[in-house]
Amino acid sequence: MLKLYNTLTRTKEDFAPLKKNTVKMYTCGPTVYNHIHIGNYSTYLFSDLLKRYLNYTGYKVKDVMNITDVDDKTIKGSITAGKTLTDFTAQYEKMFYNDLKLINILPAKKNPRATRYIKQIVKFIKKLEENGYAYQTADGSVYFDISEFKTYGQLANLDNQNLKADAGGRMASDEYQKDNYGDFALWKAYTAADGDIKWKSPWGYGRPGWHIECSAMIMKLLGDQIDIHIGGEDLVFPHHQNEIAQTEAVTGKPFVKYWLHRAHLKVDDQKMSKSLGNFLLLNDLAKTKAGLMAFRYLIVTSHYRQPLNFTMDSLQAAAEGLNKVYHFIDRLTATRGDDSKIDETLNYLEENNRQFAAAMDDDLNTPQAIAALFSLINLLNKIIDQNLIGSKSVKLILKHLKKQDKVWAFIFSRKSLDPLFQRQIETLITERNTCRTKKDFTAADKIREQLLSMGVEIQDEGSDTKWSVK
Ligand code: AMP
Ligand code: ZN
């Protein structure tokens, strides 16, 4: 049974969704005011991994990742750039979707943009006012009164008694620290610094605070209660605490069953962030010899609750790990042994399935799951050495790996080809063309199949054969 570490209870809990078989999952998406850095992507890769594993184990996942296109940072950025908020944010949003494809992150079912949900946000704040949790200040802004919410601080393990005794300050800005908590803005009254970015509301012109955006979009798209909520660990407080307060103050029901947070990706032991200027983009990594699949491998095979210090050396080491897997597949698809060890091979595959599930069920213990894959590769390499893997076994092994790769999503996605692999493809194509000239089409088709199992598609154009990697 899958166990997940819940930030709310600080324990690993058995996973059981609210509704049998369907998992409602929400991930706090990017604020589109700048390029999205690889630290952000480490959180999205974690969310992708979990979603893929839930799919692998048979759950249907209904997932939403929002796009924050209005907040303090996007407004400031669009004004500085002299662009409308929509034009300014759309360019980063577009790059974001492109990036997701590059590292095999499956698209979410929905990517709502906050500016399209202003009506729901206003309705939400009105409800908070009616329920006695919100109040208006002289400038026309609306704040959430944290002293009214009895469990405020619980998610971040803050001492609720002290919190209430000290409460009273107000936080106008979207982001603030634990030791700086206070009532937070739900609706921010218009000021000249907002340019022409404003919406009409019962409290006058203004715009939503950041925290209320997620609460309102979740309620609209997923309902009052969801199974899993994900974000980077920096969001535990205040953002996620504020989401809980807002939603539960409206519904009176527990909002999220499992809160999951990814530890930070660090550089020189500091959080990678736009404000510190120590960030790297996928573009930077795409230019390295290691490449982007190595980045996916690095993040996905590290445990999500361990902070990871990113270095180019760690990326290179990941590339080497990945190349071992690739080379195994090349060896496997090139081997021409007999199938006399097929039973032993099958046992190894079944054992690997068990080890994979046991590791992943334990709070997505990917370091253990990848170690199990390498043990399998070692065992199979020994049988290949003895020339005892034939075409039937190859098919079974590839099927096994393809199934597991629905979760890893880096094995059959060789984006940049290493020269060895390229040479191997070309040799096979020459071999196949010789067969075709000799009209030995059975042999030619066999080679085509072999290429396909290596992820290579071919197309004959006269006597020439073009190939591409799927
Ligand atoms: P932002 O665009 O700053 O709102 O962040 C988008 C997502 O990336 C949030 O879930 C953050 O918690 C997460 N995030 C930001 N920086 C990092 C980092 N260095 N490591 C891991 N996740 C991060
Ligand atoms: Zn959020």
**Spans of all domains in the chain:** 18-262, 313-408, 419-469
Q: Is the minimum distance from the CB of 17 to ligand 1 under 6 angstroms?
A: no
Q: How far apart are CA 174 and CA 121, in angstroms?
A: 16
Strand residues in 15-55 grouped as ranges (E): 22-27
Geometric angle at alpha carbon 397, from 346 and 429, rounded to 5° = 145
Residue with tokens 């043990």: 375
Nearest-atom number in ligand 1 for the CA of 68 is 4
Query: Which residues, at least 6 apart from 33, have a Cβ–Cβ distance to it below 8 Å?
Result: 71, 73, 74, 76, 77, 78, 88, 89, 92
Pocket test for ligand 1, best of 32, 43, 67, 273 (most atoms within 8 A of CB): 43
Query: Facing residues of 256 across strands?
Result: 226
With a 6 Å cutoff on the Cβ, whether 28 touches ligand 1 is yes
Is the C-beta atom of 93 inside 6 A of ligand 1? Answer: no
Partners of residue 458 on adjacent β-strands: 467
Comparing CA positions, the residue from 275, 270, 262 lying closest to residue 234 is: 262
Q: Which CATH superfamily is domain 18-262 in?
A: HUPs (3.40.50.620)
Helices (H), 203-362: 210-222, 241-251, 282-286, 292-300, 312-334, 342-361
Give pLDDT, residue 161: 55
Crossing angle for the helix pair 210-222 and 241-251, to the nearest 10 degrees: 50
Residues 299, 370: contact at Cβ < 8 Å? no
CA 28 – ligand 1 centroid, Å = 9
**pLDDT tens series, the chain, 470 aa:** 999 999 999 999 999 999 999 999 999 999 999 999 999 999 999 999 999 999 999 999 999 999 999 999 999 999 999 999 999 999 999 999 999 999 999 999 999 999 999 999 999 999 999 999 999 999 999 999 999 999 998 998 876 656 654 555 787 777 776 666 789 999 999 999 999 999 999 999 999 999 999 999 999 999 999 999 999 999 999 999 999 999 999 999 999 999 999 999 999 888 898 888 899 999 999 888 888 999 999 999 999 999 999 999 999 999 999 999 999 998 998 898 999 999 999 999 999 999 999 999 999 999 999 999 999 999 999 999 999 999 999 999 999 999 999 999 999 987 555 566 677 788 899 999 999 999 999 999 999 988 887 778 898 887 788 887 66
Residue 28 C-alpha to ligand 2 middle, in angstroms?
4
Residue with tokens 């080679």: 447
215: Cβ below 6 Å to ligand 1?
Answer: no
Same fold, 18-262 and 313-408: no
Would you state the CATH architecture of domain 313-408? Up-down Bundle (1.20)
Angle at 237 between CA 234 and CA 241, to 5 degrees: 135
For 316, other C-beta atoms within 10 Å of its C-beta total 15
Instruction: Judge if the beta carbon of residue 214 lies within 6 A of ligand 1.
Output: no
For residue 40 and ligand 1, the question of a CB distance below 6 A is answered with yes
Whether pTM exceeds 0.85: yes
Mark 208-229 as b/e (b = at least 16 C-beta within 10 Å).
bbbbbbbbbbbbbbbeebbbbb
Outline where 167-311 has alpha helix (H).
Answer: 210-222, 241-251, 282-286, 292-300
Cα(242)–Cα(236) distance, integer angstroms: 9
What pLDDT shows up at residue 165?
47
